[in-house]
Structure 1
């Protein structure tokens, strides 16, 4: 079967964007606090709607930011001819490409896009003679795979650069295994309005777009961390709305009085009761507030009160829902509730085990994607590493441990197991690859200076004179 034409590919890719648009837009709305309204009566007034607006408590950014803040690529270790990783070299072409693309700062947006929508993309291309990589939004980008569950190389990919407005057609860029195309379209579902113009060769042997997927099943479906949590987020919003209603209308004690008639207006001259046009007595205004009290002369008057609505149940329900959200999202409860008092280091570590496992899963998938990016950059830049499938990215250790504990543990590893000191440097908390290289250079300098000093000492030292005492001692 012949490959589909570029126009047919563009139609399919635009249709994918149209198919996923509602789902991804809903996820994007929840990320930015635009949630479904809590349930309220059909004839709810403006006060009800104001309380519903204030009931929105957006927890979804925390679900994205918590794992994303633990994902930080700090280096790249290229593979050697024997399939083993060589030492990290910050002057390698791969890492120079990383720094030139300013991915130290921009990598976070790629991770957050993948965690939010289930997937995000990067584009590696040559711009004015320089190979650069940039992120692409899942809201604007789609890719076609022959096997979406297992392939890391898309057959074709498209990203929208401008959406159609009124009579002005939208524009997009599309790539296949050899060429880049300029696409114009009237709408995502109008196949007849798609026009494709072939551009230049992009220079790579495969599509230069790389997918970063948070989770991919065997059907090729990608799922982020927000979409499964929407029902729980709605439950929290509903409970907070009910709490606000109870707090606004029923949280204060109501005082009651029976058998008491309000005072009425009387004619100042005759003392007779004054009536309105309907023949009803006109009551006098009563200045009653929290600083005043009522009393009655009639013994039949009874005073009472209506109890306030207790709010503790609503608060406990909110706390329970947040704990459910924490358990399902694999985010530690103390990170969401802020309850970290009297927790030992062991308890904190146990609470974060689930999060650490999830982060490790993300690192594995995202690391494979970055390795493909490095291979593409090497090919486009005519550098070594085009077929390097044994290289790996180095993730920064973001776990918070005290320096004293780490130093004690590393010292025991050095003394008891005989591990070389340089092999333990990477386990120092929050150390960067630049610092490791600097330490390596300083260690080499100290070693060379020490050897030179020893050689000079041996060359300039005079032998001890031979005496009778020394001979006797030797005998």
Structure 2
């Protein structure tokens, strides 16, 4: 039987962090532009090394930013109550009140970027002095255990590092299981014998582990993969091609002038009568070539540019030039690598190449289709995670109805670039031709927020109640040419 004691769980979770540390650090390095060096000769000089540093073209932030900027939660539609009636979506709903209290309008982007970059990130939901709040946790500092990592949404246990070890000061971490929170200390993630769990534990208030995983992609083995790691080989290939381009541009793209049949002038030094070197021309009686440390004459610097004319006294001297080498093939290679990058990563090519001239609306839509499918997949994955966060928050808040709401849905903002006129025309056709209720289409208006939507609902209800009152008064007033109510007829009689 497996050991499920708090100490055993803490050691297993810290061992996971130790196992994944190098892999996640490599991903982190590539995200921040610390890439592998391109190949260069072993005897490369400082100029080569400078070109290698300048050859790094970091495309990784675009990989993460393009889908992350299309992910924005701006509403939550609750499910039905036990009686079958929908729960109202208002600013006082526990889900949206928790969202605003946790400031997730701004903080949600960090959760998505972490999941897209490293493959997964986490959100911790807990009681605080300000109420129940949720916050994102980094994959580099957090690990979770699942009985079925491919299908379970609730981890068996989770641990997050709050302070790294420094010298003799041990590191600190918080561990959660289905009932309790534990304080964990350790000297190093690689030293499992130093792991200690404090005897004091406290209830976190939920019936399951309050840590939720946000995974960009999970296979049936429970492995998570982000958008960065699969693209590292192509990123290295782009860097190598650009390095070759810079070398060719520096050394072979310009004409090289040469001269044959002549020796370069030498640097001379002055000698006095005693044969000693002097810098005073008045004392100089002779001169000799200046020698380097190995005893070889040092050639003089030739000040040559396009405005100077070359000549030589010896008729056997010949001048010429070597043509610059072509670099067009290297530029085409960079372009091809970027296109491969775009195809594999499902990033529209014009996002990377900047070539959008003379593209029709249909061509742009076709180019964006692959990205749209990827974003839709991320929305379905992250949406389920947010729904669990909302249920946990409701349970910690004591709202049993919301805690058992498994039919609620996260609403994502439509981030596609469409004009308001196009959207209004399309929504109008849906209402008129298909009979869809107009109020049901309000959420599809581009840019509408949860607050605006609820304001519209309130104003519509006020207008509706005022209209009902006006119609009732009209029916109750005699002599208006309308049908009167039985009460008004009795009064008239």
TM superposition score normalised by structure 1: 0.90
1:77, 1:89 within 8 Å by CA — same for their partners in 2?
Answer: no
The aligned counterpart of 1:243 is 245
Q: In the aligned structure 2, how far is the partner of 1:277 from the partner of 1:425?
A: 87
Provide the rounded CA distance (Å) in 1 between the counterparts of 2:296 and 2:15.
72
Indicate which of 340, 349, 363 corresponds to 1:324.
Answer: 340
The 5 A counterparts of 1:100-139 are: 100-128=101-129, 130-139=131-140
Instruction: Say whether the 8 Å CA contact 1:77–1:85 is kept in structure 2.
Output: no
Q: Tell me the residue number matched to 1:424.
A: 441
Counterpart Cα distance in 2 of 1:25 and 1:119: 14
RMSD of aligned C-alpha atoms? Answer: 2.7
Label 1:192 to 1:277 Cα distance change in 2 as closer, same or farther (>3 A).
Answer: closer
1:408 corresponds to 2:425: yes
Q: Which residue of 1 aligns with 2:327?
A: 311
Partner of 1:347: 363
- 1:55: which partner in 2? 55
Preserved contact between residue 75 and residue 450 of structure 2 (Cα < 8 Å)? yes
CA contact 2:67–2:371 (8 Å) conserved in 1? yes
User: How much has 1:119 moved relative to structure 2?
Assistant: 0.5
Structure 1 residue 243: deviation in Å? 1.1
Give the match for residue 178 of structure 2.
177
> Which position in structure 1 is the counterpart of 2:217?
215
Asked if structure 2 preserves the Cα contact closer than 8 Å seen for 1:275 and 1:281, the reply is no
* C-alpha displacement of 1:146: 0.9
Please list, as runs of the form range in 1=range in 2, the aligned pairs for 1:136-151 lying within 5 A after superposition: 136-151=137-152
Give the C-alpha shift of residue 90 in structure 1: 2.8
Give 1:263 shift.
7.2
Higher mean alpha-carbon deviation, 223-232 vs 440-449, is at 440-449
> Is the 2:474–2:480 contact (alpha carbons within 8 Å) kept by the matching residues of 1?
no
Partners of 1:276 and 1:77 lie apart in 2 by 90
Tell me, in whole angstroms, the C-alpha distance in 1 between the residues paired with 2:225 and 2:36: 20
1:64 CA drift (Å): 0.5
More displaced, 2-11 or 331-340? 2-11
Match of 1:41 in 2: 41
Once the two structures are superposed, what CA deviation does each residue of 1:294-343 show, in whole Å capped at 9, x if it has no partner? Answer: 24576654432211121211111111111111111111111111111121
Q: 1:145 to 1:297 in 2, by over 3 A?
A: same
Distance in 2 separating the partners of 1:281 and 1:143: 71
1:389 corresponds, among 406, 423, 427, to 406
CA distance in structure 1 between the partners assigned to 2:296 and 2:210 by the alignment:
86
> 1:369 maps to which residue?
385
1:90-125 deviations in Å (ceiling 9; x for gaps): 321111111111111111111111101001011111
Structure-1 residue corresponding to 2:283: none
Q: Is the 8 A contact 2:143 2:158 kept in 1?
A: yes
- Write the distance in 2 (CA, Å) between the matches of 1:392 and 1:324: 36
1:98 partnered with 2:99: yes
CA displacement 1:13-62 (0-9 Å, x = unmatched): 01000000000000001111111111111121111111111111100011
| Structure 1: gaps (5+ residues) | 267-272, 465-475
Q: Which moved more, 1:399-408 or 1:433-442?
A: 433-442
Mapped partners of 1:334, 1:137: distance in 2: 31
- C-alpha spacing 1:175/1:311, structure 2 compared with 1 (3 Å): same
Give the count of matched residue pairs. Answer: 459
- What does residue 433 of structure 1 align with? 450
CA distance in 1, matches of 2:49, 2:203: 56
* Deviation of the 1:254 alpha carbon: 1.2
Task: Give the 3 Å change call, closer, same or farther, for CA 281–425 of structure 1 in structure 2.
Answer: closer
Q: Which residue number corresponds to residue 374 of structure 2? A: 358
Deviation at 1:445, TM superposition (A): 3.2
Find the counterpart in structure 1 of residue 491 from structure 2.
Answer: none
TM score, norm. by length of structure 2 = 0.87
**Matched residue SS, 1:385:** helix
Distance 1:457 1:4, change over 3 A: closer
1:14 equivalent in structure 2:
14
* Per-residue deviation, 1:448: 3.8
Match of 1:225 in 2: 227
Match of 1:153 in 2: 154
Unpaired runs of at least 5, structure 2: 269-285, 483-493
Are the structure 2 counterparts of residues 281 and 323 from structure 1 closer, same or farther at C-alpha, using a change threshold of 3 Å?
closer
CA distance in 2, matches of 1:9, 1:85: 41
447-456 vs 392-401, greater mean Cα deviation: 447-456
**Map of 2:310 onto structure 1:** 294
- Structure 1 window deviating more from structure 2 (202-211 vs 1-10): it is 1-10
Q: CA deviation at 1:262?
A: 5.8
Aligned to 2:32: 32
Q: Specify the SS of the correspondent of 1:210.
A: strand
